Amino acid sequence: MKIISVVGARPNFMKIAPFIHAINRYNAINEDRIEHILVHTGQHYDDRMSKTFFESLNIPDADINLGIGSGTHAEQVGNTMIAFEQVLLEEMPDWVVVLGDVNATLACSVTAKKLKIKVCHIEAGLRSMDMDMPEEINRLVTDRLSDLLLTPDKMAVDNLVKEGVQAKNIEFVGNIMIDTLEEHREQASKIKIEDIIRENKINDTEYQDALKKEFAVVTLHRPSNVDNEKVFVALVNFLLNEVTTQMEIAWAVHPRAEKQLKAFGLWNKLISNKRTVLLHPLAYHDMLRLNMGAKLMLTDSGGLQEECTVLGTPCLTMRWNTERPVTLKEHGGLSVLVGNNIDRIRKEFEVVYNTQTQPVFPELWDGKTAERCLNAILRFEM
């Protein structure tokens, strides 16, 4: 059997690592070896956003790098389809495995199906019900085309059934990102926070004794939060004027956020705040370590909602909806949707600050999802 797996952006890297390791374990004990080819489309292509993740997660260098780079959604999808078609025509795999909801997921699933190659979608069935999110379009199209849909939770299964997907094409396998977390939890716990600051700080400020007590971790990158000046200014002012009065902040600054902070005249204000530590985008273990030590997470990331759930870190999700409702408080998780409404953020911040939380483990978030993914592919029958 020949499998081509596709990664395009950083969220994919944490998901593909355990799948590759599962294939390696299978090949070590079976004569009918799986030929695996890893394709990196290059959507995240700089060292901090890509290379360091491959190294830290023990992912081999991609066998093929399409070098797509940045661009509009149409440019990324179109260029990926053109380049990936040539790969498929040369390799003609039995399966194409796509992950998550980035542009590469959509582009490569469409290209594979047009060539009558089976498609497996890991992390299928997630829905935000928000068609303004480009990722929602990617999820819907990919799931409609996929032959095998592997879901992280039963709510995702229900979504697919409601959409008319046949039961034989759906398998509930658990959350593959948690495989990566559990594999690297111990290693991350040994990292000193002062080392993370020293190696990743953006400016030359000496952060003596920083993040020694209670601190919040911040990550923001979505256009709804960082592209609107009025919204972004209000969020930054809340962080600096209110959050830092009760705890320090560690902000891993996404390139898009950095660009807008400078454009809106907020950058120097952040740099000069001694209770805020500005960091470059972090390697996986460094972010995991900060999450493990944080009192609170404020983020618009999807994956961090999931990690917070199993780490026991309260998460204020700065979005109006989420494709991962299993992480929400009302479904037993630790995340609360607050959007970018300052009054709502303030209210939930005070609740979190005065509440003790414990880790939550949704069903099959047990570190063994990759094995179930591979077994589902091996036994699949059309």
Per-residue 3-state assignment (H helix, E strand, C coil) for 138-156? HHHHHHHHCCEEEECCHHH
Q: How many helices (H) and strands (E) does the chain have?
A: 16, 13
Structure tokens at 148: 């095998």
> Quick check: 6 and 98 in contact, CB under 8 A?
yes
Residues 6+ apart with CB under 8 A from 227: 260
> Quick check: 112 and 3 in contact, CB under 8 A?
no
Q: List Cα–Cα distances, 121 to 20, 137, 377, in angstroms.
A: 15, 14, 10
> Quick check: 236 and 270 in contact, CB under 8 A?
yes
Q: Which of 221, 254, 280, 285 is catalytic?
A: 221
d(CA 301, CA 93): 33
Q: Is 44 a catalytic residue?
A: no
Structure tokens at 276: 């805020």
> Quick check: 108 and 99 in contact, CB under 8 A?
no
Q: How far is CA 19 from the centre of its chain?
A: 16
Helix or strand or coil: residue 185? helix
Residue 237's identity, in one-letter code, is N
List the alpha helices (DSSP H) in the chain: 10-29, 52-56, 73-91, 103-114, 134-145, 154-162, 176-189, 193-200, 223-226, 229-241, 255-263, 267-271, 284-293, 303-311, 342-353, 369-379
d(CA 97, CA 101): 12
Instruction: Classify burial at 295, counting beta carbons within 10 Å of its beta carbon; exposed 0-12, middle 13-18, buried 19 or more.
Output: middle
- Between the two ends of the chain, the Cα-to-Cα distance in Å is 15
**Looking at the annotation, which residues are catalytic?**
221
